Amino acid sequence: MRGGRAPYGTTGALGRRQALRLAGAGLVAATLPARAGRACAQDAQPRRGGHLNFAGLAASTADTLDPARFALATDYIRGHMFYDGLVMLDADMMPRPALAERIESDDLQTWHITLRRGVTFHDGAALDAADVVYSLARHKDPAVGSQQRVIAQEMADIKAVGPLEVRVTLHGPNADFPSMLGIVSFSIVRDGTTDFSRTNGTGPFICTEFTPGVRTSGRRNPNFWRGPAPWLDSVDMIGISDDMSRHNALLSNDVDIIASVNPRLVRLLRARGFGVMESPVGTYTDLAIRLDEGPGRSQDFVTGMKYLFNREQVRDSVFLGFARLGNDQPIPPEHRYFAADLPQRSFDPDRARFYLQRSGMMEAGVPLVCSPAALASVDIAVVLQYAAQQVGMSLPIRRMPADGYWTEYWMKTPMGFGNTNPRPSLDMTFALNFASGAPWNESHWRDPRFDQLLLAARSQRDEGARRQIYHDMQVMIHDGAGICLPAFTTSLDAFNPRVRGLAPSQAGQLMGYDFLSHVWLADAPGGAA
């Protein structure tokens, strides 16, 4: 351990309480990754061996092995298959050390990353600081086309300061920097890699086939640093975008796990003996009303629209109950920083009518822009349109094609739906989606006090104080921003009963996309490990 720096924690399994205290200032390696232990604890002793077929929701020529270009859940799963990040997020979205043994900082602005010793890439080369510098810095190059370029630009300087030590200097203090490294896109590739038609990572599987739009296959990496995982000998991953075909493939035993189960088929699958896992991920579909143009300039209109949302109906009839109620702020109820005392806004046609009449927009006929691109937004729009009829307002629905929705319509119309995936930390959610200059500030909401609180939280080491700040920020979004957030979706994924070791995670679909390194087969030939 370095002298004089971050005297937090010792090695040993991190309890949750201890980890919470550490979150602000640094991470220390645990001998046993907490999630792996927990996931397998539900079942008997894991068995080694066997082959697993997985069918995700999408496969196209846009499939990639380049972490910078990961965009879809299937990409994230592929990323976890072949690569590792410096940090991984556990089932409670807490950052845990992965390829980094320690991430420490005195001032929360300059971060020292000490890499795990003895980790090797699939080609046998040892992981060193140059790989990490290359993997992180390439996101800043516009020609790479990184999905995370905006986030990566927070890193002002990335430098190797030893064979296994990297120093990252940020533009300003940010206590949540370790969480940021938990994004799958920041997975570590070999220094100088430009050809991503094959992989050379450190992850649990070694790529044996990758054909974009068709298939990704891997075999067990015998030198995986997080051994004895993975349990499976080999894995095949395909994408079946057609809903019925995906379910049929599971029912006919052609595949063992499918992602994105249709809520209407959950009962049928369970009746036939298949398992359906419900993961409380923080993905939400929201209506964003632009505050800088159109009817949203009237605060009354925005308030009226928020009261017009029948959230219970959205949860029960659109998501068939597989969702949690939203409260017009982006933090889901199971998150450790969730503002539980914030009163739940509910459907109130009388108040809605009052505010909408006062805004003078009852007859304006502002269209609701929705699209299959934003999950369930078309159905939510219909629920909202019905509620509007009840208060005497006409609300035309404009359904746009999924193709090109994000570039052509999202955030460009006065009132339209968006869909946002959870980010690893609250800081990122607020900074990217709600701060005044945020690139994806859907409602174009500006509040200088919110921006100040964001900066204050970043340099705040005290857990209690941070909690209070984040609480206040949720209240501000709930009251001020132009987003109406009816529900958080639950990820539904189904599996053959012979698949064991799955556990729900807040970090995303299928154990934060990392299920392949955890699951094992009850009928595996290898016997108990």
Partner 1 sequence: MNARLATLVLRRIGAALCSLLFVVVAIFVLTAALPGDVADMLLGQNATPDATQALRHALHLDQPLWLRFVHWCGGMLQGNAGNSLLTGRPVSEMLAPRLYNSLLLAGATTLVAVPLALVLGLACATWRHTVFDRVMTVLTLGIVSVPAFLIATVSVFVFAVQFRVVPALSDIRSIHSVGQFFLTFAMPVATLASITMAQMIRMIRACMIDVFSAPYMEMAVIKGVPPIRIMLHHALPNAIGPVANAIALSLSSLLGGVVVIETIFNYPGLAQLMVDSVMSRDVPIIQACTLLFCMTYLFLTTLADIVALASVPKGRGA
Give the footprint of partner 1 on this chain (CB under 8 A).
55, 60-62, 64, 69, 71, 142-143, 145-150, 197, 211-215, 238, 240-242, 244-245, 248-249, 251-255, 403-404, 406-408, 410, 419, 439-440
Alpha-carbon distance 122 to 10, whole Å? 30
Shortest Å distance, C-beta 523 to partner 1? 18
- 325's CB contacts (< 8 A; 6+ apart) are 311, 312, 315, 333, 344, 486, 487, 488
Shortest Å distance, C-beta 242 to partner 1? 5
Shortest Å distance, C-beta 245 to partner 1? 5
Neighbours of 242 (CB within 10 A): 9
Nearer to partner 1, 411 or 529 (CB): 411
Q: Which of 526, 524, 515 is nearest to 36 (CA)?
A: 515
Alpha-carbon distance 77 to 505, whole Å? 14
Q: Which of 194, 219, 195 is nearest to 209 (CA)?
A: 219
Using DSSP's 3-state secondary structure scheme, residue 409 falls into coil
Nearest-5° angle of CA 52, CA 55, CA 57? Answer: 155
Nearer to partner 1, 138 or 345 (CB): 138
Shortest Å distance, C-beta 348 to partner 1? 32
Both structure tokens of 35: 């999630």
Shortest Å distance, C-beta 65 to partner 1? 10
Alpha-carbon distance 412 to 441, whole Å? 11
Q: How many CA atoms lie within 13 A of 275 on its CB side?
A: 16
Q: For residue 234, give the H/E element and its range.
A: strand 234-239
Nearer to partner 1, 325 or 378 (CB): 378
Nearer to partner 1, 238 or 510 (CB): 238
Nearer to partner 1, 36 or 184 (CB): 184
Nearer to partner 1, 248 or 299 (CB): 248
Shortest Å distance, C-beta 56 to partner 1? 11
Shortest Å distance, C-beta 70 to partner 1? 10
86: exposed, middle or buried (Cβ count in 10 Å: 0-12, 13-18, 19+): buried
Nearer to partner 1, 245 or 394 (CB): 245
Shortest Å distance, C-beta 499 to partner 1? 18
Q: Where does residue 408 fall: left (phi above 0), alpha (psi -120 to 50 degrees), or beta otherwise? A: alpha
Q: Which of 177, 39, 18, 58 is nearest to 512 (CA)?
A: 39
Both structure tokens of 446: 């500006």
Nearer to partner 1, 59 or 129 (CB): 59
Shortest Å distance, C-beta 146 to partner 1? 8
Residues forming beta bridges with residue 488, ordered by sequence position: 284, 324
DSSP annotation string for 324-372: EE--SSS--TTSTT--TTSPPP---HHHHHHHHHHHT-TTT-PPEEE-T
**CB of 193 closer than 8 Å to CB of 94:** no
Angle (deg, nearest 10), helices 426-433 and 463-480: 30
Q: For residue 457, give the H/E element and its range.
A: helix 448-458
Nearer to partner 1, 212 or 349 (CB): 212
Nearer to partner 1, 45 or 194 (CB): 194
Shortest Å distance, C-beta 196 to partner 1? 9
Shortest Å distance, C-beta 300 to partner 1? 30
Nearer to partner 1, 37 or 404 (CB): 404
Shortest Å distance, C-beta 309 to partner 1? 23
- 242's CB contacts (< 8 A; 6+ apart) are none
Nearer to partner 1, 11 or 197 (CB): 197
